[in-house]
Structure formats: C-alpha cells, structure tokens
Structure 1
Amino acid sequence: MIEVENLNKRYGKKVIFNQLNTTFKANAVTILLGENGAGKSTLLRMIAKLERQDGGAIRYFGESLSSKALKERLGYIPQDIALFEHMSVSENIDFFRGLYKNPIDTERINSYKKSLNLFEDKARVASLSGGTKRKVNMLIGLLGNPEIIILDEPTVGIDLKSRYDIHRLINELKQNKLIILTTHHLDEVEAIGDTIKLIGKDPFYKEVLIEKGWPFEDILQRN
C-alpha cells in the first residue's frame, strides 16, 4: 500500500494540493481520472520521487524510502516516449536493463513481449508505429521488476489493438503489483480499473461516473 498524508504542492501562487490524503492498494489498478491540469501527473511524479512535494509524506508499504531505494521498487512509465530512436528495440532493452542491479531475466522479458504482441526486436525505434513505441516504452519500465508501476496516459494516441495488448499485460501484472495510471478513456477505466480516484474540479467526470454507477473517491473533496 502507498499512503499519501497531508501532501502539499504549489507552483508559484497556484495551489495544486492542500493537505491531500489518500491510499493506493496493492494487487490492484488505481485510475486517476480528471481534466488536464488537475494535478494527476504531478501526483504521479511525486509518488515516483521525480518531483518534490512542499509538505506532507508518502510511505511505501509502511516505509519512507529514499529516491535510490525507491528506484529498485518502482517503475515509472511516462507519457512521453523515453527511448533511443536510433537504436533497435533489443538494443534499447539491453541498455535500460543494464541500469538495474536485479533486472528481470530473458524469460520474463519474452513473456511480456508475448502479452504485448511485441516481436519487432531488430527494428529501429524510429521506424515503429506509435502503438508499438508505447508497448516498448512500457516494457522498458518493467525491466527492474518493480513492485509499484506508474503509468501516465499509457495508451494516449494509439490504435485500438495496441491498447488492447497493453490492457492485457496490465491485467496480468496487477495480480502481484501495485499499479497507478492516468487516462481519459472511460472504456479503459472499465477494462482495467479496480479503483477510481477523481482528481480535479471539472464536474464532467463526476457526473459521468455517477451516471454509470461506478464507485469512486473524490480525493480533493476529502480535504
């Protein structure tokens, strides 16, 4: 479980979070839903220790972890494609795998490739479709065998088949991982979400969730 306690964050005079409190359960997919600029990506980056909060605490399975300790336990998969375009898929995998002390083995990599329908090992990343790049991007984030997986808009702008492949792997991973992701796709919420956390002030998302009868937590309203 990840516990967020009394989290504060502001950019200049703009307050993003004021005494935010919430928790994220293990062995489940938690979806952050809300409008652009609501703070979804900021929260993910603070959980991943890529950005500092102005106050409050974040605990991981009951522990306060340093950035170095968290790196071995968390996989962060950003919305931007973080790959070397001039290198092949295999070369990217080999490079990023070498950054971890205890990376997953070749058998696990091949299992993830199979789930993702990812078989373009020798192709240069620059030549791949947007959907295939996103699948490689996701695989790179799993190379350190993380307990916690954070995905920021993992299927934005890609075809339906690639989205389906990514959904399949996420549903496999959540059996023993803590997964948090952001999305604007309501069908994605229905396909892979176990818990919905609403973040933002636009009433649209709340109205849709109420209309569909999907339970959710309005995490800003709690504060």
Structure 2
Amino acid sequence: MLKIENLNKTFGKKQIFANLDATFGDTGVTLIVGINGVGKTTLLDTILGISKYNSGTVEFNGLSSDQKKFKEQTFYVPSDFFLPEYMTGKEYSNFILKHYPNSNLAFFKKCSEWLGIKDSLNKTLETYSFGMKKKIQLAIMASSGTTLILADEIFNGLDFETTIFVQNLLDKMSQSAKIIIVSHEPSVIDFYSEDIRILNNKKLERMYGTSEAVIEKVKKEGNLNSKLCQMEKYFRTA
C-alpha cells in the first residue's frame, strides 16, 4: 500500500501541496488529472524521492523512497526521458532490468515483439523514433516485476493501435501491481474510470463519473474557466 500523510511542499514562496493525504491500494489503476502546472508530475517525483518535500510522510509497504528495497519495487515512466543513445536497445534493457530482482527478460522479449521493436533491439537508441523510445520503456516497465508503477502521460507518442494495446496491458498488470497514471486524455479517463483523483487546491480529491464529468470539473479550476468564459463572450459579440 502507498500511503501519503500530511504532505507539504513548496517551490520558493509557492506552495504545491498542503497537508495532502492519499492512500492507494495494492492493485488497480489510479488516474490523476488536473490543470497544467498544478503539480501532477511533481507529485510523482515526490513519491519517488526525486523531488524533496518539506514535511509529511510517503511510504510504500512501510518503506521510504531512500531505501533500496523501495527502489527495487517501483518503476517510473516519465513524460520526458533521455536515453543513453550510444547503447543498443538490448544493452539498455539489460542494464535497467538487472537492477530489479524480480525482472523477467523472457517477458521483455515478448513485449518487444508485441510492441513491434524486437527487430530493432540490436540498433542504437539514437536511431529510435520518439515512439520507439517510449515502447522500449514500456517493455522494460512491463517486465520489471515491480509492484508500484508510476507513469506520466504514458500514451504520448503512441499510435492508436499501440495505445489500445498498452491500455489493456496495464489493465492486466494492475491485477498484481499498483499503477498510478497522470493523463489528460478523455479515452484514458473512460478506460480507467474506477479510481480517478483530481489534484486541486493543493490536495487530491476522489472523483466519479465519465470523462465529460471530469473535464467539466477541471474546467472550473484555475484560470481555465475564466478563459473559456471570455472566449464564449468574444464569439457572441464578434
């Protein structure tokens, strides 16, 4: 179980989280939504210990992010990633997976086949397109054997067919692992509608409903609602 209690974090004078509390079960997919700049990526970074917080606690199965066992049980797919382009796909995947004691190289090869990058594993990463780089990250993620997976805009750069495949792959993986996704795509919201949290007013709020309901909720936050009202007024008077 991932448990966050009384989390407080600031950047300079700006407060990002204020006494944020959240509990996530051992399995299933949680989707985090919110307007740009509200702190969604920062929350993932904070859970993993990449970004430090001012006060509070973040624990996964009683472990803190600075413990080796925590790192062995968690995997992160960031929205922006920089791969060692001089390595081949095979070298890179072997290098990453050796850090995870429960990783499965045979399953990595199968995922690479499913994702259409098997024939490119002996090529250097500098020859990969953005979509291929995302796919090798996903294949490594799926075969890491970790029980907590965090992913930021995981479907960016994927074609329609691959998006559907990855959605179903994550659904299967979530039967034995906890997966937390940051996304703004309506199709993703509808697919993972069982546990949606909106980051708002420096806290996480549980939401229920369709993508339309979530979008309407997001519209009311920050400056978005004001901008939409101004736009409506402009077109009425133009």
The TM-score by the shorter chain falls in which range?
Answer: 0.7 to 0.9
In structure 2, do the counterparts of structure 1 residues 173 and 66 end up closer, same or farther at CA, with 3 Å as the change threshold? same
Letter in 1 for 2:115: L
Structure 1 gaps of 5+ residues are 219-223
- Native 8 Å contact 2:104 2:144 kept in 1: no
> Shift in Å at residue 89 of structure 1?
1.3
**More RCO (CA 8 Å, sep 6+):** 1
Q: Distance in 1 between matches of 2:152 and 2:133?
A: 15
> Shift in Å at residue 27 of structure 1?
1.4
TM-score w.r.t. the length of structure 2 is 0.78
1:26-175 matches, within 5 Å, as 26-64=26-64, 66-100=66-100, 102-119=101-118, 120-175=120-175
TM-score w.r.t. the length of structure 1 is 0.83
Whether 2:21 is the aligned partner of 1:6: answer: no
Q: Distance in 2 between matches of 1:162 and 1:69?
A: 32
Q: Distance in 2 between matches of 1:207 and 1:71?
A: 29
Partner deviation per Cα, 1:100-132 (whole Å, 9 max, x = no partner): 4x1523222223334434323223322223222
Q: Distance in 1 between matches of 2:2 and 2:189?
A: 20
In structure 2, do the counterparts of structure 1 residues 207 and 29 end up closer, same or farther at CA, with 3 Å as the change threshold? closer
Aligned length: 212
Partner deviation per Cα, 1:41-75 (whole Å, 9 max, x = no partner): 11101111111111111121244463322111101
- Native 8 Å contact 2:194 2:208 kept in 1: no
Q: Distance in 2 between matches of 1:7 and 1:39?
A: 13
The structure in which a higher percent of residues are helix is 2
Larger Rg over CA atoms: 2
Q: Which moved more, 1:17-26 or 1:151-160?
A: 151-160
Q: CA RMSD in A?
A: 2.9
Deviation beyond 6 Å, 4+ runs, structure 1: none
